[in-house]
Amino acid sequence: MYIDFYIDGYMQYKAKFDLLISQDTVMPYQPDEYQHVKYLWEDHIADELSPVDNLVYRSNKLGEDQRITNTGGGNTSAKLMETDPLTGEQVEVLWVKGSGGDLRTSTRENFSSLYEGKLQALDEVYQAYPDKGYKSAGEDRMVGMFKHCNFCLNPRASSIDTPLHSMIDEKHVDHLHPNAVISVASCKDQKALTETIWGGKLAYVPWMRPGWEAARLCEETYEENPDIVGILLGQHGHTNWAGESKSCYETSLWVIETAARYIEEHDKGEMTFGGQKYAPLDESSRTRLLTEFLPVARGMISTEVKFIATVQTDDATLRFVNSVDAPRLAALGTSCPDHFLRTKIKPLLVDFDPQNDDFEQLVDKFKAGLQQYREDYIAYYESCKHEDSPAMRDPSPTVILIPGIGMIAWGKNKSESRVTAEFYNCAIEVMRGAEAISEYTALPAQEAFDIEYWALEEAKLQRMPAEKSLARDVVVVIGAGDGIGKATAHRVAREGAHVVCADLNYTNAEKTAAELTDIYGQGIGVAGSGISACGPAIALQVDITKRETVECLFSQVLLAYGGIDKVIVTAGVFVAEGADMAKNDQIFDLSFGVNVKGGYVVASEAQKIWQSQGLKGAMVLTTSVNGAVSKKGSLAYDTSKAAANHLVRELAVTLSPLINVNALAPATVVQGSNMFPRDRVISSLTKYNIAFSADESTEALRNKLAEFYAQRTLTKQPITPDDQAEAAYLLISGQLSKTTGQVISVDGGLHEAFLR
């Protein structure tokens, strides 16, 4: 009797324990045993956080490992008890990562908060719609209803996956897009593999576009399978849950690690993607081809709008583009909807033989491939469109694959192109995994179209803020380390430009680029090889008197961004001559070398790129009013600036009609100028009998001299680097698109420099 009692009690306890293990702590791996994801949870940090901040922490830890989810992809949630600000009562609130957020970088402000009870009640609203159903207008209309459920007037737009998180009756839910899991979800036998890999702990639902109907199907699957910890979403990713935040995190890791281990057990090694058809080019040959090809390609695809590039040449990318199966797999297109919203339905694989074709053949084959791609895309649009579909977007590819070289991804700015590259990196890994364990399948064309041209996605695009005036431009500022150049770099960055901060003094250039990055950020996306992994501002060293360094500068810019649009040269040198004119030869050589020849060298090297691109551009040189006003003590400087003025006119003729060339002519810009070091300022103050004390700061002395110069002008105002930067921006902004060969004085009104 007693034995039976204890056995019954043990069996009841074991059943409860097994259920707890199956639902909340599926983690046969210790934190240090994970091979394919990083275990990043730290109790001493997480335990000190509020429930909402703990959700943010979980999200950040998941997003930090790019094998878990891609930039901007996936969402997490927690159902928490909060105090209703109107009634003072405790209510259940769903906190879920909002639309457009990124798990890796999200903060509390990136999360929507909604009354869970109101969300649940929305199903009655939906069921009353006469036009409800999968992909119906009624289903789409539900997204607009979410805002009626907002808790505490939270303005963050809710994710399309909000009903999924609400309908799963668990406190914590993660919805992720890991490469390993999508690999399984993209196999032709994905349902059977779900059972095999996760042993019944994950259920399976076939592909459905995210929305109310997909969430209801997941809810039904959850209710019908009490022992599961998650659901594999066909062609999409997975959702898992737990009653506690840390357990939910660990369950997510278990799902991904389990899939990754299964894939690695079946990895095909050297026969991945059918083996290698081509050998990669050596780095030197690849770089040479890329720097020649990038501006050509940019010009060809930028027929409607300009694009910025990210180059990917890592081993994983090269293994794919060089493989036997690359043509077959690339033509199938991507699977996960998060991917092809960036990468389009498929990439353009150029029929290039790296061992036998040359640059001209690469260009010819790309041109032919581009034409065919556009024709195919138009046919795809025409065959799949609905009566109310948005107008067809640019039919150009956003991903170009080249055997022997790698991948070039394109976007409206650097962040977008890096995300595009990142997503196709993910697509390659998904195809590798799927082909290792089964056969890769992509979404049917109609399903892909219905995501790409979804009314909700179109509405999201329409809500995007207008692009700034230089958002798609690459602007090279030479002399960006200080003075006018630094101010100009900041000015064009405010208009969205990708800024190359170039200077003879690399340390100063780095400081300017770092300032811009601190203000505008590095951008999103984790892709790009070498310098192409950069953000919207980079620093490079250049000596404009040496052609090889200018050539190297532009080569790096091409690898970083794919092209060049505007070049602004603010670099210059001033050295006062001595009394013995016969001993001033070196001063003349230096002055003309930097102030005249340097501008010519930059223009002639940029010309090669501009001609390859075939896109309109602009160049601005910095001369001086001294080029028109002769005065004692600056013979070499003044005559070099006069020559620079004429160089502007010559270059305007030479580079027309593609490039506008103009100049700004400053006068007495003392503040922040390396042409006015302390000793020169003191010399000038002494020359003009301006009282000063030797213990005054350099900036104070500069201000005295600047004010003296201001009184000689008609406007009576000191001239600053920002004044010059404004003129430089105006000359490249497009507002003066029919002005070329002109020199614009920014001197406060020196009548001595008036046009004669």
- Distance, CA of 434 to CA of 243 (rounded, Å): 32
Tokens (6 digits) for 685: 């103050």
Torsion of CA 37, 39, 45, 50, to 10 degrees: 60
| Active site residue ranges | 637
The answer to whether residues 482 and 456 touch, using CB atoms and an 8 Å cutoff, is: no
CA angle 288, 289, 294 (to 5 degrees): 110
| Cα end-to-end distance, the chain, whole Å | 119
Tokens (6 digits) for 528: 């790009």
Sign of CA dihedral 167, 173, 177, 180: negative
Q: Is 735 exposed, middle or buried (0-12, 13-18, 19+ CB in 10 A)?
A: exposed
- Which amino acid makes up residue 203? A
CA angle 674, 499, 514 (to 5 degrees): 65
- Distance, CA of 534 to CA of 548 (rounded, Å): 23
Residues 6+ apart with CB under 8 A from 451: 209, 337, 340, 341, 443, 457
Strands (E), 333-425: 348-349, 399-402, 406-411
The answer to whether residues 473 and 497 touch, using CB atoms and an 8 Å cutoff, is: yes
- Distance, CA of 397 to CA of 300 (rounded, Å): 11
| Residue 574 CB neighbour total at 10 angstroms | 22
Strand order in the sheet with 474-478: 537-541, 498-503, 474-478, 566-569, 617-622, 659-666, 743-746
Contacts of 30-36 spanning 24+ positions with Cβ under 8 A: 34/253, 34/257, 35/257, 35/260, 35/261, 35/264, 36/67, 36/180, 36/256, 36/257, 36/260, 36/261, 36/264
Rg (alpha carbons) of the chain, rounded to whole number: 31
- Distance, CA of 677 to CA of 660 (rounded, Å): 33
**Count of residues for the chain?**
756
Going by their DSSP bridges, the two strands 90-97 and 111-115 should be labelled as: antiparallel
* Neighbouring-strand partners of residue 202: 230
- Which amino acid makes up residue 176? L
- Which amino acid makes up residue 647? L
Residues 6+ apart with CB under 8 A from 197: 184, 258, 259, 262
